[in-house]
Amino acid sequence: MRAPTRTTAAPRHRQAGFTLLEILVVVAILGLLIGLVAPAALRQLGGAQVSVAKQSIQRLAGVLDLYRLDMGGYPSTEQGLQALVARPSGAAAWNGPYLKAEAGPPLDPWNRPYLYRNPSTRPGRDFDLCSRGPNAQGGDSAGAEGMICN
């Protein structure tokens, strides 16, 4: 009779994959990168919105000049920028609409209406056209801190 043969089991191979420690290290690195990059990206976004507000104010000032050429003067404070979208009462020479705006007067990059005042409260200006800025702390007076004006 033969002695039973010993069979050796095949060595167990380590399964491919990541350990919990490796995953935690990668998550920590990603967290650090996001923590460093996100504030810089948000600062850039805020600067871009200020730039868009300044450009929009310049464009609206040009449109207000076209209105003045047709009507002989700028809209009153009461008429506001709505006069660029819809004919004011008693405006026979109105040649608008001067802006394409289905929902009314234009909004600044923070979705707030621009402040318009005629006559201007600032020297050397025909009218005030301002955005309250990103923090909306400018109040209602043109030239207040944080305001972006023409």
- Nearest alpha carbon to residue 79 among 92, 71, 89: 89
Query: What mean pLDDT value characterizes the chain?
Result: 81
- Nearest alpha carbon to residue 58 among 119, 133, 146, 149: 149
pLDDT digits (tens, 9 = 90+) for 9-23: 556 666 678 889 999
Hey, is 54 helix, strand or coil? helix
Q: Count Cβ neighbours within 10 Å for each residue of 136-149 and write b for 16 or more, e otherwise.
A: eebeeebeeeebbb
* All structural domains of the chain with their residue ranges: 45-86+97-149
Q: Are strands 128-131 and 115-117 parallel, antiparallel or unpaired?
A: antiparallel
pLDDT digits (tens, 9 = 90+) for 82-137: 888 888 887 788 887 888 866 677 888 888 888 999 888 888 888 999 888 887 76
| Better pLDDT: 129 or 43 | 129
CATH architecture of 45-86+97-149: 2-Layer Sandwich (3.30)
Q: How far apart are CA 136 and CA 147, in angstroms?
A: 8
The residues facing 130 across adjacent strands are 115, 149
Q: Is it the case that residue 141 has pLDDT exceeding 60?
A: no
